[in-house]
Structure 1
Amino acid sequence: MTAGHCSKHGPFNPDGSVDFYHLPWGNTVGYRLIGQMAPPNMSVVDRGFISKQNNNTDLDTVGTIVCKSGYFTHVDCGRVLSLNDVIISASDIEYSGVVKVDHMGCEGDSGAPVFPVTPEQLPGIFIAGMLTGGIKAEGFCVVVPIEMLITDDIEVLTINNLI
């Protein structure tokens, strides 16, 4: 999501949408397509939604350092231990496609955003997943990758939807 007015100068595609690219701070090359924003309706609020066309690939390598920002343990970081893993919860529910991360405090921080450590993106971040729990005795936290969370069938709720 971004401010809707970010698309007002184009350049416009034939359908009126605008392509959005990621360009790390201080770089003049290295553009990477994020996705397209349809012409926003700014009559209610200045917002625009950029469709996900390229996934963030920072959770695709074992050993990558990621951090999370949670309520109880605040910002904490760890290394990706495994990808596309399967875990079984305390209530015997099997979850597949998850990522295991070590050395992050995760108790009480479920729902915390998980992001890669990429200094060239600062002060911004790219959300790579969401913390869903962990197994303290085994020393890892469980992260659901963003591509499993943001799907075509989700409904985005904003404050305007709730009022």
Structure 2
Amino acid sequence: MLTALLGGVAVTLSAPAAPAPAAAPALLPELLAQQAATALAARVSADLGTRSAGSFLDPATGVPVVNVLDQADAQQVRERGATPRVVAYGTDALQEAEADLDRTGGAPSTAWGVDPATDQVVLTVSDATPKDGADRLLAAARKHGNRVRVQRISGPITEQLSSGDDITTGMIRCSVGFAVHRGGTPHLLTAGHCTRGLPQWINVGPSVDSHFPGSDYGLILDETAQGRGVVNLYNGGTQRITAAGNATVGQSVCKSGRTTHLTCGKITALNQTVNYGNGDVVRGLIRAEIRCDKGDSGGALFAGSVGLGTLSGGDGHIEYFQPLPQSLRAYGATLG
């Protein structure tokens, strides 16, 4: 079984379960109920193609909402059973603003990406962001007026690794995300910044790959073949993961990790770019308002039986996750 180094892994191996936060399991029925709404929003948005300006779930009602630019498409959305919303900017205008922020090069402890729920690009700037970098990003944001909304946070945005741990020796504290099979051999999927340097994991096996920065996924050879396709709920139970899926803005989700155990929240944006500093920029991440802490890196993000991603980093309250389907495709892997 895993030792204390990985004693609270997200994928249940042989680790004992710890008590869960009382409020977290109560969300699990909601996670199951929203799967149909999430699928409907994705289908309608995909069918509209470039005429769609994104989709999300209304955080209050769970109703699928699809953004459009005119009343004709709004009627089509309505006929398909989703709720239309006519917006001002649309995908092209928001991606133009996003690309402008990309060209600044960013700065440590910043993140940006499109938020379909507000029809804006959200630029997150921390008090820990160096002033010159923050000023450069804010100047670029001002050129786009209401298309860009600035969000201020107090703490730095960091990879969720424990301070002082040495990733090159195996003395690291991360969480396993999902058990997977690659070429018929069992592996464990986690964050790429955890497997950087390809450390050996005690009583598990060696890291065999790391993608970080740019993206943030890594692979560990499960030499003991103890990984199972379930997530530890830290209340004595587990949730079986049967599929990998794409996250939807407004979706209720939960995360399992060794430090904060089971915590739940909402997806707030997709395709986010995060600058962790030291040249470590990761793109295409899921943004969620959910509690995490040091050592939760790599932990599983899921909604019911659907796996969505693995934890990359954040500030403890606003967190960023590597999408699971992308990681599986990159490795040619399937869920265990």
What TM-score results when the alignment is normalised by the length of structure 2?
Answer: 0.26
The answer to which structure has the higher helix fraction is 2
Partner of 1:69: 256
CA gap 1:152/1:110 in 2 versus in 1, 3 angstroms: closer
Q: 2:278 aligns with which of 91, 95, 98?
A: 91
Distance 1:62 1:72, change over 3 A: same
Q: Which has the larger radius of gyration?
A: 2
Q: Cα distance, 1:87 vs. partner?
A: 0.5
The aligned residue for residue 81 of structure 1 is 268
Equivalents in 2 of 1:79, 1:63: separation in Å? 6
Shift of residue 90 of structure 1?
A: 2.9
Partner letter of residue 134 of structure 1? G
| Alignment partner of 2:306 out of 122, 126, 150 | 126
* Cα separation, partners in 2 of 1:155 and 1:91, compared to 1, 3 Å: same
SS in 2 for 1:90: coil
Instruction: Mark the CA change 1:155 to 1:65 in structure 2 (over 3 Å): closer, same or farther.
Output: closer
SS in 1 for 2:254: strand
Cα deviation, residue 111, structure 1: 1.0
Alignment check: 8 A CA contact 1:98 1:143 kept: yes
- 1:103 aligns to what? 290
Deviations 1:34-57 (A, max 9, x none): xxxxxx9xxxx9xxxxxxxx8523
1:114 & 1:155 partners in 2: Cα distance?
A: 18
Contact kept, 8 Å, 1:106 with 1:141, in 2: the verdict is no
The alpha carbon displacement at 1:149 in A equals 0.9
| 8 Å Cα contact 2:259/2:295 also seen in 1 | yes
Matched residues, number: 96
Q: Is the 8 A contact 1:112 1:131 kept in 2?
A: yes
Cα distance change of structure 1 residues 63 and 93 upon mapping to structure 2, 3 Å threshold: same
Q: CA deviation at 1:153?
A: 3.8
Out of 131, 139, 142, the position equivalent to 2:320 is: 142
Give the fraction of aligned pairs with identical amino acids, expressed as a percent: 26
8 Å Cα contact 1:82/1:101 also seen in 2: yes
The question of whether the paired residues in 2 share the 8 Å contact of 1:133 and 1:141 is answered with: yes
Which residue of the partner structure matches residue 56 of structure 1? 245
SS of equivalent residue, structure 1 residue 69: strand
Task: Report the Cα offset of residue 72 of structure 1.
Answer: 0.7
C-alpha contact 2:274 2:283 (8 A) present in aligned 1: yes
Q: Which has the higher contact order (CA 8 A, sep 6+)?
A: 2
How many angstroms apart in 1 are the aligned matches of 2:318 and 2:324? 19
CA, structure 1 residues 153+130, in 2 after alignment: closer, same or farther (shift >3 Å)?
Answer: closer
Question: Corresponding residue for 2:206?
Answer: none
Q: Is the 1:106–1:131 contact (alpha carbons within 8 Å) kept by the matching residues of 2?
A: no
Q: Structure 2: which amino acid aligns with 1:81?
A: T
Matched to 1:68, the amino acid is K
Instruction: Measure the CA separation in 1 of the matches of 2:279 and 2:319.
Output: 17
2:279 and 2:330 mapped to 1: Cα distance? 29
Are the structure 2 counterparts of residues 152 and 132 from structure 1 closer, same or farther at C-alpha, using a change threshold of 3 Å? closer
Q: Which runs of 5+ in 1 are unaligned?
A: 1-23, 25-39, 46-53, 119-124, 159-163
> Aligned partners of 1:87, 1:133: CA distance in 2, in Å?
9
**Could you say what secondary structure the match of 2:325 adopts?**
helix
Aligned structure 1 segments of 4 or more residues deviating by more than 6 angstroms? none
